[in-house]
Amino acid sequence: MNGKNRRILLKSRPVGMPTAANFGAVDVPLLPVADGDVLRRTIYLSVDPYMRGRMSDADSYAAPVNLGDVMCGHTVSEVVESRNPAFRAGDIVAGYDGWQQYAVSNGKDLRKLDPRAAPVSTALGVLGMPGMTAFVGLIDIGQPRAGETVVVSAASGAVGSVVGQLAKARGCRAVGIAGSAEKCRYVVEELGFDACVNYKTDDLVPALQAACPNRIDIDFENVGGAVLAAVLRVLNRGARIPLCGRISEYNDTEDRGGPSLRSLLVNRAMIKGFIVSDHGDRMPAFIQEVAPLVRDRRIKYREDVIDGLDAAPRALIGLFESRNFGKMIVRVSPDPTLA
């Protein structure tokens, strides 16, 4: 196939909040497809908070993106040409092709999707890495029991929305924390959480105490900072804290000093950091439990879709400005399964 492949590269490392100037676009020619290879066109690109970490060269659990390299990211794509017997033109695949219109590889990194089973974009959200994060963190680390109270921050987002609905499915009280009245309304009225606290307008500790009359047994922590500090003051005896993310701290340029750990001690609470990519063995259990719940609309999801590869930097920055409402996805090219 002839033509050009547009790519978005990491041009410089951000100090504080990322800006558009940290990225640069290039058009490169598409190379002929070699024997054994699969060429695909990106339909959807996922943008996720962890990408802020990959833009930085600070020590972390994964290597940074090198300056001048294509930004990384999960993708859903259509195979346009295959010289690999395992794939055919027209197949829809999930992969990790990054911020570009086309990608080529031997196909070992691809997972075929069935467009009849679920909209293919869900492979980036509710049935992809974020949904799996919710499953591993809540079920394996949080170990919820019916009647317990589960609090989750960034509650309307890709991970948080699944955490609260899974908690409800396990018979727990689910309380969200989110950053606007509209998001709180959505979390309670659409997703079926029992309550939602607005961390921008509510006095957090009394609001959490009111929403959690039996205190908090599981805090699924997505935000860190002041939100975590408030939650720690309402912990129950024996509480568990799956420490999933600290999005309020990702752009910090200096250490603000952490919340007091006293509550962890006096409540004999457990806090455990986890990275979803260490738990790939739980993928079949996750799909087995969550895919039917999504199909039956017992787990609802919301996607925030923005058009065009060039919009990816704006979409990523928006995650740290609370501009997204639901799983943030960039539509790089038309979705043929919706035609």
Three-state secondary structure of 189-234: HHCCCCEEEECCCCCHHHHHHHHCCCCEEEEEECCCHHHHHHHHCC
Residue 247 beta carbon to ligand NDP: minimum distance, rounded to whole angstroms: 4
Q: With beta carbons less than 8 A apart as the criterion, state whether 57 and 75 touch.
A: no
Helix (H, G, I), strand (E, B) or coil at 37: coil
Return the number of the residue (38 or 158) whose C-beta is nearest ligand NDP.
158
Residue 227 beta carbon to ligand NDP: minimum distance, rounded to whole angstroms: 6
CA 290 → CA 30, 159, 162, 194, 295, distances in Å?
A: 38, 13, 9, 20, 9
Residue 8 beta carbon to ligand NDP: minimum distance, rounded to whole angstroms: 19
Angle between helices 204-211 and 225-232 (to 10 degrees): 50
Place of tokens 């890709």: 158
Helix (H, G, I), strand (E, B) or coil at 175: strand
Return the number of the residue (103 or 319) whose C-beta is nearest ligand NDP.
319
Q: Tell me how far apart the alpha carbons of residues 198 and 215 are, in angstroms, rounded to a whole number.
A: 18
Q: With beta carbons less than 8 A apart as the criterion, state whether 230 and 203 touch.
A: no
Residue 129 beta carbon to ligand NDP: minimum distance, rounded to whole angstroms: 6
Residue 173 beta carbon to ligand NDP: minimum distance, rounded to whole angstroms: 20
Which of the 8 DSSP states describes residue 33? P
Return the number of the residue (100 or 156) whose C-beta is nearest ligand NDP.
156
Residue 58 beta carbon to ligand NDP: minimum distance, rounded to whole angstroms: 15
Question: How many other CB atoms are found less than 10 A from the CB of residue 41?
Answer: 21
Q: With beta carbons less than 8 A apart as the criterion, state whether 201 and 175 touch.
A: no
Return the number of the residue (104 or 155) whose C-beta is nearest ligand NDP.
155
Return the number of the residue (110 or 141) whose C-beta is nearest ligand NDP.
141
Return the number of the residue (191 or 227) whose C-beta is nearest ligand NDP.
227
Residue 252 beta carbon to ligand NDP: minimum distance, rounded to whole angstroms: 10
Q: Which of 329, 307, 315, 338 is nearest to 130 (CA)?
A: 329
Q: With beta carbons less than 8 A apart as the criterion, state whether 277 and 133 touch.
A: no
Residue 323 beta carbon to ligand NDP: minimum distance, rounded to whole angstroms: 7
22 CB contacts (<8 Å, ≥6 apart)? Answer: 10, 11, 12, 13, 14, 55, 313
Return the number of the residue (101 or 324) whose C-beta is nearest ligand NDP.
324
Return the number of the residue (104 or 174) whose C-beta is nearest ligand NDP.
174
Positions in the binding site for ligand NDP (CB under 6 A): 48-50, 130, 133, 154, 156-160, 178-180, 183, 222-223, 227, 244-245, 247-248, 274-276, 319-320, 322, 324, 327
Q: Tell me how far apart the alpha carbons of residues 269 and 261 are, in angstroms, rounded to a whole number.
A: 10
Residue 45 beta carbon to ligand NDP: minimum distance, rounded to whole angstroms: 14
Return the number of the residue (69 or 278) whose C-beta is nearest ligand NDP.
278
